Structure 1
Amino acid sequence: MRWTIKPKPEISKIEALKNALNVDETVATLLLQRGIETFEDAKTFFRPSFDDLHDPFLMKDMDKAVARIEAAISNGENILVYGDYDVDGTTSVALLSSYLKTKTENVATYIPDRYIEGYGVSFKGIDFADDNGFSLIVALDCGIKAIDKVAYAKQKDIDFIICDHHRPGENIPDAVAVLDPKRNDCNYPFKELCGCGVGFKLISALAEKDGKSPEDLVEYLDLVATAIGADIVPIVDENRALAYFGLQVINSNPRPGMKAMIAEVKKDQLTITDVVFIIAPRINAAGRMKHGNHAVTLLTETDFNLAAEYAVDINNYNLDRREVDKQITEEALVQIEENNEKNRFTTVVYDENWHKGVIGIVASRLTETYYRPTLVFTRSGDKLAASARSVKGFDVYNALEACSEYIEQFGGHKYAAGLTLLPENYEAFKAKFEAVVKESIDPKLLTPELKVDLEINLNDIDEKLMRIIHQFAPFGPGNMTPVFMTQNLKDTGYGKCVGEDDKHLRFTATQNGRGKIVAIGFGLGEKCHLIQNGNLFSAAYTIDENDWNGNVSLQLKLKDIKA
Structure 2
Amino acid sequence: MRWNLKPKPDSHKVKHISDVLGVDAVVATLLVQRGIETFEEAKSFFRPSLDDLHDPYLMKDMDKAVIRIEKAITNGENILVFGDYDVDGTTAVSLVSSYLRSYYPNVATYIPDRYKEGYGVSNAGIDFADDNGCSLIIALDCGIKSIDKVAYANEKNIDFIICDHHRPGDTLPDAVAVLDPKREDCSYPYDELCGCGVGFKLIQALGVNRDQDINDLIPYLDLVATAIAADIVPITGENRVLAKFGLEVINTFPRPGIKALVQNVKKPTLTITDVVFIIAPRINAAGRIKHGNYAVELLTEFNLDQAEEFASQIEGLNADRKDLDKLITAEALQQIERNRDQDKFTTVVYQEDWHKGVIGIVASRLIETYYRPTLVFTKSGDKLAASARSVKDFDVYNALEACAEHLEQFGGHMYAAGLTLLEEQYPLFRAKFEAVVEETIDPELLIPEVSIDAEIELNDITPKFHRLLQQFEPFGPGNMSPVFMSRNLKDSGFGKPIGADATHLRLFVKQEDSDGFAAIGFGLASKMDVACSGEPFDAAYSIDENVWNGQTSLQLRLRDIKCIE
TM superposition score normalised by structure 2: 0.99
Deviation of 1:550 (Å): 1.3
Q: What CA distance in whole angstroms lies between the structure 2 residues aligned with 1:187 and 1:499?
A: 51
Between the aligned partners of 1:531 and 1:116, the Cα distance in structure 2 is: 52
Residues 425-504 of structure 1 mapped to structure 2, 5 A cutoff = 425-504=425-504
Query: Match of 2:515, SS?
Result: strand
Moved over 4 A (4+): none
Contact 1:455–1:485 at 8 Å: present in 2 too?
yes
Matches within 5 A, 1:341-380: 341=341, 344-380=344-380
Q: What is residue 151 of structure 2 aligned with on the other side?
A: 151
- Equivalent residue number for residue 548 of structure 1: 548
Give, as a single letter, the amino acid of the residue that structure 2 aligns with 1:143.
G
1:55 is matched by which residue type in structure 2? D
Q: Name the counterpart of 2:523.
A: 523
- Report what 1:246 is aligned to: 246
The alpha carbon displacement at 1:534 in A equals 1.8
Letter in 1 for 2:475: F
Once the two structures are TM-superposed, the CA of residue 491 in structure 1 deviates from its matched residue by 1.0
| 1:383 paired residue number | 383
* 2:42 pairs with 1:42: yes
Contact 1:397–1:412 (Cα < 8 Å) also in 2: yes
Task: Give the Cα–Cα distance (whole angstroms) in 2 for the partners of residues 342 and 555 of structure 1.
Answer: 42
Q: How much identity, in percent, do the aligned residues show?
A: 69
Q: Give deviations 1:484-511, integer Å, cap 9, x for gaps.
A: 0000111111111112232111111111
Equivalent residue, structure 2, for 1:304: 304
CA contact (8 A) 1:73 1:103 kept: no
Alignment match, 2:218: 218
Q: How many aligned positions are there?
A: 563
- Work out the CA distance in 2 between the residues paired with 1:412 and 1:333: 25
2:494 partner letter = Y
Distance 1:371 1:139 in 2: 35
User: Shift in Å at residue 266 of structure 1?
Assistant: 4.1
| Counterparts of 2:28 and 2:268, CA distance in 1 | 31
Query: How far 1:265 moved relative to its partner?
Result: 3.4
Partner AA of 2:12 in structure 1: S
Kindly state the Cα deviation for residue 367 of structure 1 after the two structures are TM-superposed.
1.1
Please say if residues 373 and 389 of structure 2, whose CA atoms lie closer than 8 Å, have aligned partners that are also in contact: yes
Would the aligned equivalents of 2:111 and 2:293 in 1 still touch at CA under 8 Å? yes
SS at match of 2:263: helix
The aligned residue for residue 393 of structure 1 is 393
What residue in structure 1 maps to residue 92 of structure 2? 92
Q: In structure 2, give the amino acid aligned to 1:493.
A: G
User: Are the counterparts in 2 of residues 82 and 137 from structure 1 also a CA contact under 8 Å?
Assistant: yes
Would the aligned equivalents of 1:491 and 1:534 in 2 still touch at CA under 8 Å? yes
1:322 maps to: 322
* TM-superposition CA deviations, 1:500-531 (whole Å, max 9, x none): 23211111111124331111111100100112
SS of the aligned residue for 1:450 comes to strand
> Higher mean Cα deviation, 212-221 or 410-419?
212-221
Q: Aligned partners of 2:302, 2:291: CA distance in 1, in Å?
A: 20
Q: Offset of 1:343 from its aligned partner?
A: 5.3
The SS at the match of 2:516 is strand
Q: Counterpart in 1 of 2:30? A: 30
Aligned to 1:10: 10
How far off is 1:101 after superposition?
Answer: 0.4
- 1:266 and 1:80 mapped to 2: Cα distance? 38
| Alpha-carbon contact 1:342-1:370 (below 8 Å) kept | no
What TM-score, normalized to structure 1?
A: 0.99
Give the drift of 1:25: 0.5
In the TM superposition, residue 158 of structure 1 has moved relative to its aligned partner by: 0.1
Secondary structure of the corresponding residue to residue 265 of structure 1: coil
The C-alpha deviation readout for 1:173-220, integer Å capped at 9, x for no partner, is 000000000000000000000000000000000001112222210000
Q: Is the 8 A contact 1:258 1:299 kept in 2?
A: yes
Letter of the structure 2 residue corresponding to residue 480 of structure 1: M
In structure 1, what is the Cα distance between the partners aligned to 2:343 and 2:463?
46
5+ residue gaps, structure 2, are none
Q: Contact between 2:343 and 2:434, CA under 8 Å: does it hold in 1?
A: no
Partner of 1:277: 277
8 Å CA contact retained: 1:341, 1:347 = no
Report the AA paired with residue 244 of structure 2: Y
Please report how far the alpha carbon of residue 368 of structure 1 lies from its aligned counterpart in structure 2 after TM superposition: 1.3
User: Is the contact made by 1:14 and 1:32 (CA closer than 8 Å) also made in structure 2?
Assistant: yes
Give the Cα separation in 2 of the matches to 1:437 and 1:9: 33
CA distance in 2, matches of 1:24, 1:465: 9
Q: Which amino acid aligns with 1:515?
A: D
